[in-house]
Amino acid sequence: MAEQKTHKVTLIPGDGIGPEVTQAVVRILEATGVKFEWERFAAGAEAFEIFGEYIPAALYESIERNKVALKGPVTTPVGGGFKSINVTLRKKFDLFANFRPIKNLPGLETKWPGVDLIIVRENTEGEYVGLEHEVVPGVVESIKVITDKGSTRIAKFAFDYARKHGRKKIHSIHKANIMKMSDGLFLRCARRVAEGFPDVLYGEHIIDNTCMQLVMNPFQYDTLLLENLYGDIVSDLCAGLVGGLGLVPGANLGHDCAIFEAVHGSAPDIAGQDIANPTALLQSAVLMLHHLNEEAAANKVQKAVETVYAERKTLTRDVGGHAGTSQFADAVLAAMG
């Protein structure tokens, strides 16, 4: 019998609720039978205290070597302080596609049962290029960068995904009536790519209208293709459709590397209390298992999560339960058998 492969994965527990939810997820992953070797690293303020660097060189090297990372949230201070670790890592490894599936879990009452959306967010450009400066006191310029290359490759990613996974429809979400040049370019690239995919319906909606439409009737959408900032905002809105930020997973994908992380941030308001919901990071880990071709383990974890939600006995507070982070993890482990 061939020896079982060991997956070397870079692990960034992060801060705030990061270490708690990461610990819960690692326990569950280790119980799948898949062999992991974790390379664990601090990042952000915690890393700065230890190494004098927000992202230690050894962390970059680890991701470069392993090509896969599982990451908890790392706080980005508002205003001054350091540059977002999340944005820096996405740029450094050219993780241009941010992939976020939005799906109801059983047992959770939400306004709309049966939501099944895919968000494809451009991850390296837009307002997130970090080009801001003060022109004169009281006047600040922030530069949004949209390129043909960046827009074309994210559109291609969305259409390839749709075709491969039988998704029927893609909408580009934009504000090209105001951002005529930048969003105009984004749309032109998406249209050009769409021409090569006659089997996938293509539409365009303005961002503000889309937010209203998503709340009123999310079923008119299937896959949403968005620039960086719009994708960030609409992801949180869509998380709200299925029960909140504690649930929605994400993957940052490039041609070479992948970093799996939840949509939510470090949630300092509930950190250190063993009450955070680890489902979002756990479902991100399920995406990682698929990425590693560990299909059986991915399905086993996903099924166990769905069982725990359907039973409604051991849910965390954000989704109406009373269980703690570790109790929820125990319930998932029990459901895995």
Q: Give the bridge partners for 64, in sequence order.
A: none
Least separation in angstroms between residue 234's CB and ligand ATP is 13
- Minimum distance of ligand ATP from residue 163's CB (angstroms): 31
Nearer to ligand ATP, 81 or 196 (CB): 81
Tell me phi and psi for residue 88, to 5 degrees. Answer: -60, -45
Q: How far is the CB of 246 from ligand ATP (least distance, A)?
A: 3
Q: Which is nearer to ligand ATP, 185 or 280 (CB)?
A: 280
Please give the Cα distance from 197 to 192 (Å, whole number). 10
Q: Buried b / exposed e across 100-115, counting CB within 10 Å, b at 16+?
A: bbbbbbebbeeeeeeb
The smaller minimum CB distance to ligand ATP, of residues 3 and 269, is found at 269
Contact 247, 58 (CB under 8 A): no
Minimum CB separation of residue 164 from ligand ATP in Å reads: 29
CA distance 240 to 322: 20
Q: Which residue is closest to ligand ATP by CB?
A: 265
Minimum CB separation from ligand ATP for residue 102, in Å? 15
Nearer to ligand ATP, 87 or 292 (CB): 87
Tell me the CA distances in angstroms from 36 to 8, 68, 100, 200, 322, one per residue in order: 6, 12, 24, 38, 31
Helix (H) or strand (E) holding 145: strand 139-145
> Looking at beta carbons only, is 97 or 248 nearer to ligand ATP?
248
Between the CA atoms of 28, 30, 31 and 32, what dihedral angle is there, to the nearest 10 degrees?
100
Closer to ligand ATP by Cβ: residue 146 or 280:
280
Provide CB contacts within 8 A for 125, sequence distance 6+. Answer: 145, 146, 147, 150, 151, 227, 228
Q: Residue 252: what residue type?
A: N
Q: Which residues bind ligand ATP (CB under 6 A)?
A: 17, 21, 76, 245-246, 264-267, 269-270, 276-277, 280, 318
CB of 296 to ligand ATP, least distance (A): 26
